[in-house]
Amino acid sequence: MQFSEVIGQTGLKKELSQLMQENRLAHALLFLGKEGSGALPLAIAFAQHIVASSPDSHPEEKGESVASLFGEIPEPSQHTRPGTEREVLLHPDVHFSYPVVTKKSGTPTISTDYVSEWREFIKSYPYGNVYDWLQFIDAENKQGNITAAECNDIIRKLSLKSFEGGYKVLIMWMPEYLGTEGNKLLKLIEEPPEKTVFLLVAENEPQILPTILSRCQIIKVPALENAEIRQALVQRNSTDPVSAERIASVSEGNYREALQMAQHADEDWQSLLRDWLNAIMKTGSMAQVKWVDEIGKPGREKQKQFLRYFNHLLQLAVRIAVIPQAAEQYPEKDVDFANRLNRITGIEQQQALVEELDKAAYYIERNANGKILFMALTIKIYHIIHHKTVFLNE
């Protein structure tokens, strides 16, 4: 994977390149970015840059072309092997660690047991999250982990000599799934063999072992800009520009979520939301039960997208209330609904609703029962806004 395949993050690409050029590469880097920011693709591309930049590798002497940092890939020579840009996934000196589930009861499971699936997942879903990965390997409702056996395997692999004589790189995705058994790695991280680099990729800093965190240089990966997501949707996903603009404004810098929305661009979330709020505020318990029954039918991803859309409208309502001219940047349909939300809620109520929606999305991600969750959320929303009732007509 090349840096050119990573959406946006131009500043970080330059910064990482300078680390190599100025010989300031730390032995342990933590790429910290929220879901959909591209932290994993960025780390993989950096690993490619590290092994390609190794003075011992001399890829040009082997007849291979090496892509520059920002993707001006040279024309392949007659000696260049097909698929060179993706060979970091097969490189003998680049190792991967990620949450896995037990394949066979009673036997320790390590990442390499799923190496074929992992390579295919990265090629197909480079911006995917842990839920996508566990579904990809048919984990069902099993909890993924990075185990003690995995730590032992990491120690073993990194103790070996580099295959090509250059750098060895370990990319650990989601160290949040590493429990106290991760302390096995402390000495290795603090005093690694020569030319050994740890690249950790995480989303939630508080969930990482403090002993691991304290030994890493943190690279903060920001959320993507709307313009970057819009461009990526059009160019990579063939999304029409109008839909791409709307999706980008809702995705909150999360390209993974943007792709999910693009797949369901024809969903009428606003009508669904209108029916819900009307059931909560006007039509009563029978309508609420019927609505909850309907929302319980689609899959978890659709439920999350619906909550994200509601969240987007609430945040838009706040922006419009504070800065009326901000409405010019958003679709008229969304602005109209946001204005209606401002008629039934104040800013404090909207903030309370956003918190409840975030909690609901969190629990849906962790296999909560959809019907029970939405019924509880219905009751909470009623108590938050019931004193400012208005019917949300077309």
Same-domain check for residues 199 and 56 = yes
Whether 138 and 157 have beta carbons less than 8 Å apart is answered as no
- Average pLDDT estimate for 316-345: 83
Same-domain check for residues 92 and 46 = yes
| pLDDT interval class at 222 (50, 70, 90) | very high
Same-domain check for residues 33 and 130 = yes
In a domain, 393, yes or no: no
- The residue from 235, 261, 287 where one domain ends is 261
Residue 231 sits in which domain range? 226-261
| pLDDT interval class at 210 (50, 70, 90) | very high
Give CA–CA dist 384/380, Å, rounded. 6
pLDDT of the residue at 299 = 75
CA angle (155 as vertex; 152, 159 as ends), nearest 5:
145
Q: Would you say residue 26 has pLDDT above 50? A: yes
Taking only the tens place, the pLDDT of each residue in 348-381 is: 888 889 889 989 988 887 778 888 999 999 999 9
Same-domain check for residues 290 and 184 = no
pLDDT of the residue at 361 = 87
- The residue from 209, 241, 261 where one domain ends is 261
| pLDDT interval class at 82 (50, 70, 90) | very low
| pLDDT interval class at 54 (50, 70, 90) | low
pLDDT of the residue at 377 = 92
Same-domain check for residues 129 and 248 = no
In a domain, 120, yes or no: yes
pLDDT of the residue at 77 = 31
Higher pLDDT, 74 or 133: 133
Taking only the tens place, the pLDDT of each residue in 286-330 is: 889 999 988 887 777 788 878 888 988 898 888 888 888 777 767
pLDDT of the residue at 265 = 63
Other beta carbons less than 10 A from residue 256's beta carbon: 20
Could you tell me the end-to-end alpha-carbon distance of the chain, in angstroms, rounded to an integer? 48
According to the per-residue pLDDT averaged within each range, which of 38-47, 85-94, 187-196, 256-265 is highest? 38-47
In a domain, 394, yes or no: no
Whether 223 and 251 have beta carbons less than 8 Å apart is answered as no
| pLDDT interval class at 269 (50, 70, 90) | confident
Q: Bridge partners of 312?
A: none
Q: Would you say residue 57 has pLDDT above 80? A: no
- Average pLDDT estimate for 189-202: 91
Average confidence score pLDDT of the chain: 83
Same-domain check for residues 280 and 346 = yes
pLDDT of the residue at 387 = 59
Q: Would you say residue 252 has pLDDT above 90? A: no
Higher pLDDT, 37 or 103: 37
Q: Would you say residue 63 has pLDDT above 80? A: no
Same-domain check for residues 133 and 58 = yes
Higher pLDDT, 22 or 12: 12
Same-domain check for residues 358 and 234 = no
Same-domain check for residues 71 and 180 = yes
pLDDT of the residue at 47 = 92
CA angle (14 as vertex; 10, 18 as ends), nearest 5:
170
Closest CA to 200 of 36, 39, 10, 2: 39
Number of domains in the chain: 3
In a domain, 193, yes or no: yes
Q: Would you say residue 84 has pLDDT above 60? A: no
Q: Would you say residue 139 has pLDDT above 60? A: yes
C-alpha neighbours within 13 Å on the C-beta side of residue 51: 28
- Here the CATH number for the domain that contains residue 127 is 3.40.50.300
Same-domain check for residues 298 and 361 = yes
Same-domain check for residues 273 and 246 = no
Whether 361 and 304 have beta carbons less than 8 Å apart is answered as yes
Share of the chain above pLDDT 70, in %: 88
Closest CA to 385 of 308, 314, 287: 314
Same-domain check for residues 318 and 339 = yes
Task: Give Rg (Cα) of the chain.
Answer: 24
Q: 149: exposed, middle or buried (C-beta count within 10 Å: 0-12, 13-18, 19+)?
A: middle
| pLDDT interval class at 267 (50, 70, 90) | low
Q: Would you say residue 80 has pLDDT above 80? A: no
